[in-house]
Amino acid sequence: MNASNKRKHAASPAKYVIAAGIAAIAGFATVYWSLAPSDNGSSPASAPETAEPSAQDEEVVTGSPLQGLNTGAMSAFVVRPKPLSLPDFSFDGPDGTKETAAALKGKVVLLNIWATWCVPCREEMPQLDALQAELGGEGFEVAAINIDKNGAEKAKRFLEETGAENLALYTDPTGKLFAKLKAVGMPTTLLLNAEGEEMGRLVGPADWASPEAKKLIEAAIAASENGAS
């Protein structure tokens, strides 16, 4: 082996170490950006699926009226062992009036957090609209809240473009709702009982017009009407 080949051979292990280090850094960056909160386009439009409840959680969830209904199109929906109280939050109503979380109490609410730049949001908006058209009323509402900063007009055009005719225009021009409700991906959807407590959530897009989704919502409505959630 000549001197040149010896030098190349001796350098190989160092190259492997450097390559491994670069791969590790790249992997860390990928995880960080996939979980980082949105800032109107600074993070991906989708996020990793919400982890399924552990075996211990499953035992506790048996008292939930939603137990066993997170199947099929709703398999990524995570049922809370018991209703979870949420921090107070605010948003703008259709007429621009400031509303608080209290405005959503008194009925079951499917609270969807979305943005105009979110591609999966565009795909699922017609399904949310269909769900509102079929089940919406005094006992249930799909409250899709847009978090584009100062983007009420953009949000309105978005709803028109996607054919969403049954959803009210709710917006959060501050963009704080995402972090306030500890969302980790776009879209994120929470199912709230009549007391405004979270019964469960789903991270990422879903077929909200599916039979499984309707069955889940109907169970939440029935529990609300019976005074059990």
The amino acid at 57: D
The yes-or-no verdict on residue 106 having pLDDT over 80 is: yes
- Evaluated on CA atoms 142, 147, 150, 156, the torsion sign reads negative
Are residue 106 and residue 147 in the same domain, yes or no? yes
Are residue 62 and residue 22 in the same domain, yes or no? no
CATH number at residue 177: 3.40.30.10
The per-residue pLDDT for 150 is: 78
The pTM of this model reads 0.74
Are residue 17 and residue 126 in the same domain, yes or no? no
The yes-or-no verdict on residue 103 having pLDDT over 70 is: yes
Q: Is residue 40 part of a domain?
A: no
The per-residue pLDDT for 229 is: 60
Percent of all residues in the chain with a pLDDT value above 70, rounded to a whole number = 72
Number of folded domains in the chain? 2
Q: Is residue 46 part of a domain?
A: no
Structure tokens at 108: 């079951």
Q: What domain range includes position 12? A: 1-35
Are residue 105 and residue 8 in the same domain, yes or no? no
Rounded to 5 degrees, what are φ and ψ at 35?
-105, -10
Percent of all residues in the chain with a pLDDT value above 90, rounded to a whole number = 67
Are residue 173 and residue 215 in the same domain, yes or no? yes
Where are the extended beta strands (E) located within the chain? 78-84, 90-92, 98-100, 108-114, 140-146, 170-171, 188-192, 198-203
Q: Is residue 80 part of a domain?
A: yes
Which of 36-40, 105-109, 150-154 ranks highest by mean pLDDT?
Answer: 105-109
Are residue 12 and residue 94 in the same domain, yes or no? no
Are residue 24 and residue 102 in the same domain, yes or no? no
Q: Is residue 146 part of a domain?
A: yes
